[in-house]
Amino acid sequence: MTMPPAHDALRVREFLAKNSVTKMDHPPYLLDLAPCDFWLFPKSKNALKGQRFADLSDIQRNVKTLSKVFRKTIFKTISGSGTIIS
């Protein structure tokens, strides 16, 4: 017998109902957003780590430059089948 996730267990649902807590469902998983979560954002964070920026336009300029570098890197590493090669 498989157990339901903790947030769907009967005791939890009863507790939430008794205490008038509204359960909010998670948004649906979007497969096309996963590469950003696991590749682009951490890589950007590491590249910008430790830098100090004078103002918002300085941040925007650095991120745009970084994204151009990433795009060049991605296009160089795409194989004929359309998959990214490490």
- Residue carrying the six token digits 């590469």: 35
- The answer to whether residue 82 scores a pLDDT higher than 60 is no
Q: What is the reported pLDDT for 69? A: 84
CA distance 63 to 47: 10
- The answer to whether residue 64 scores a pLDDT higher than 70 is yes
Q: In this structure, what are the phi and psi dihedrals at residue 78, rounded to the nearest 5 degrees?
A: -85, 130
Local confidence band at 79 (pLDDT 50, 70, 90 cut-offs): very low
- The answer to whether residue 4 scores a pLDDT higher than 80 is no
Tell me if 62 sits within 8 A of 53, measured CB to CB. Answer: yes
Is 77 strand, coil or helix?
helix
Mean pLDDT of 54-76: 85
Mean pLDDT of 9-26: 81
Mean pLDDT of 41-61: 90
